Amino acid sequence: MTTPIIECRNLQKWYSGVHALKNVSLTIHPGETVGLVGDNGAGKSTLIKILSGVHHQDAGEILIEGREVHFRSPKDAMHHGLETIYQYNSMVPTMSIARNLFIGREPLKWKIGSFGLMDQKRMRQESVQAIADVDLHLRSPDALVGELSGGQRQGVAIARAMHFKSKVLILDEPTNHLSVKETNKVIGFVRGLKAQGLTGIFISHNMQHVFQSCDRIVAMARGEIVFDRPTTETSIDEVHDLL
């Protein structure tokens, strides 16, 4: 058996008296696409926020590729190859695609410490390449993200994660507020992760979307994992009944 890419052991989290995560353990292997489902308040978001470095667990440990990690910020998580795409979309609409792709990780031509002049030519060239890599066809890296459709934006976010060689892509309700056509596009992206050698965690309310794109279903309820099975051995009805 390969080393799990993510291993959570007995994670606990309290929010001002609410026990949001109760002893959650979850092991994910490289190349898996895991669908994480559950009702509002089931603990999905809490788990994801801990994995993406936004919050910290109160107890328990996280191992990435067998080594224990402590994320203090989203940047730490990104350094370890975990990138999260949020439902509200992690793109800045008033900025160009090229600039968006490199927010916080701008290539610098010249620098003092961590500040310096951006290599804008390289940003443009690499963003064209990154977008083409996810089969998205956009006319110009200088177009504003605000001019893109919701599905295209998620595509650019995924292109960004791939460009920075993320190992694990966490998609937090990426299909919310999208039209059917756009949703299909995003589901296509999620399905394509495996071919690119990426591990995916896909959080959604929508069972259809998860079953269409993931090879393992994990369900949470009241802060615990209550169900964990390969997609081929279960059905939407079974998971529905459970929740």
Residues 157 and 189 sit within 8 Å (Cβ to Cβ): no
List, in order, residues 6 or more apart from 40 with CB less than 8 Å away. Answer: none
* Angle, vertex CA 54, rays to CA 161 and CA 4, nearest 5: 60
Q: Please, what is the minimum distance in Å from the beta carbon of residue 204 to another protein?
A: 18
**DSSP single-letter state for residue 80:** T
Note the residues at the interface with another protein (CB under 8 A): 52, 54, 73-75, 78, 84, 86, 88-95, 99-100, 102-106, 108, 114-118, 120, 143, 147
Q: Please, what is the minimum distance in Å from the beta carbon of residue 230 to another protein?
A: 31
136-172: burial string, b at 16+ Cβ within 10 Å, e else: bebeebeebbeebebbbbbbbbbbbbbbeebbbbbbb
Which lies closer to another protein via its Cβ, residue 118 or residue 221?
118
Q: Please, what is the minimum distance in Å from the beta carbon of residue 198 to another protein?
A: 18
Q: Please, what is the minimum distance in Å from the beta carbon of residue 110 to another protein?
A: 10
Task: Quickly count: other Cβ atoms within 10 Å of residue 88's Cβ.
Answer: 10
Q: Please, what is the minimum distance in Å from the beta carbon of residue 75 to another protein?
A: 3
Which lies closer to another protein via its Cβ, residue 85 or residue 187?
85
Which lies closer to another protein via its Cβ, residue 78 or residue 134?
78
Residues 207 and 231 sit within 8 Å (Cβ to Cβ): no
Which lies closer to another protein via its Cβ, residue 100 or residue 204?
100
Which lies closer to another protein via its Cβ, residue 119 or residue 224?
119
